[in-house]
Amino acid sequence: MNENSVNDELNKSKKKFITNIIFGQKLINNLSLDKKKEINMEYFLCHLKNFKKQFEENWSQKINYERYIDLIPQNIEEKLNNKIESLIKNKNYYIEPYCKKPIKILSPLTIFKKNGFHYKLIKLESQYYDLFAFLYMNDLIIGYICCGKKNSSNYKNLYITIFLKYEPKFFDNKNKKLSIINDITEEISFFEKECYQKYIKSFRNIIFSILFDTLSEYKSIKNIVCIGEEEGGNILQLFIIDFLNNKNEINTKIPEKLSLYLFTNNTAMLSTESFYNDLVSYLSNGNNSMITFFTEKNKSFFTWDIDESKKKLYNILCQHP
């Protein structure tokens, strides 16, 4: 990559940086305002509701970037380029036919260039939440990682929220073909390979890199809470399976007792029952849980073509508006 390309990449990241600061600060302020209102499903839904409120605003068209240029720290490259990127290889990486894809732990500078933000450059803080990362797909913010505070110096929950709607014609294809995937676990049968590819391309390395840093630095974190809307829920299902399959490889960097919560809203069933049986099995120990929630009996709900006893096992809940 030549010098001009590097400079263009950094300038694009700096513009994202301003958007992220304004977007993110308002987001966690609103989350903090809603904190005392969280009960039952609202505990999860308030994250989706507040992000949706932000998501619907066309931020890039509203911001006068010149006005905020002083927010950008000087010497970003020097401040962030202090860590060597590394690979985490599953212990079965070399055993055929696994060929599991290693997790790439990105440097802070690489994360900044990709997403225009890194918490070590600036950490956005509110009363109950601090924001650690934005999740982008192409040039669109579709998620974030934040931590909920126990007090001013300790975190208890780490939240990963992804708000990604299905394409308008998503349910039109009635004859979806299964794709066999084996590079994050032994084998997954997935109806939407594109969803898996989005996970690998846009989310996997960023999420694991932020987790690697935050769980190493903040030992008070006890829970990872994953919250996904529609296809965002499928992305997080893949992440949970991936995380649990690689937990032993990163266990020196994470708290010994760490609970996982997976909440999906209006998320279709994109794999065979064996995939969801694995999720339930993995999440059946300790305080882990999986909740699949529907605001109404919609097209996503009817993809869960399983008997009523299994629906209870998978914690499928439906609430009519």
- Digit-coded pLDDT (tens) for 140-172: 899 999 999 877 668 999 999 999 999 888 888
Q: Residue 250 sits in which domain range?
A: 3-318
The one-character DSSP state at 271 is B
Q: How confident is the model at residue 6 (pLDDT cuts 50, 70, 90)?
A: very low
pLDDT digit string (tens) for 190-220? 777 888 899 999 999 999 999 988 888 888 8
pLDDT at 1 (0 to 100): 44
Which CATH number do you get for residue 131?
A: 3.40.50
Q: Cα separation of 108 and 63, whole Å?
A: 25
**Average per-residue pLDDT for the chain:** 83
Q: How long is the chain?
A: 321
pTM score > 0.85 for this model?
Answer: yes
| 95 has pLDDT over 70 | no
Phi, psi of 225, deg, nearest 5: -110, 110
CA angle 306, 310, 314 (to 5 degrees): 110
Q: Give the list of residues 6+ apart from residue 178 with CB closer than 8 angstroms, or none.
A: 189, 190, 191, 272
Q: Cα separation of 85 and 282, whole Å?
A: 29
pLDDT at 48 (0 to 100): 93
Q: How confident is the model at residue 47 (pLDDT cuts 50, 70, 90)?
A: very high
The one-character DSSP state at 177 is P
**DSSP secondary structure of 292-317:** EEESSS-TTGGG----HHHHHHTTEE
pLDDT at 3 (0 to 100): 46
Number of domains in the chain: 1
Q: How confident is the model at residue 129 (pLDDT cuts 50, 70, 90)?
A: very high
pLDDT at 269 (0 to 100): 92
Q: How confident is the model at residue 256 (pLDDT cuts 50, 70, 90)?
A: low
pLDDT at 88 (0 to 100): 74
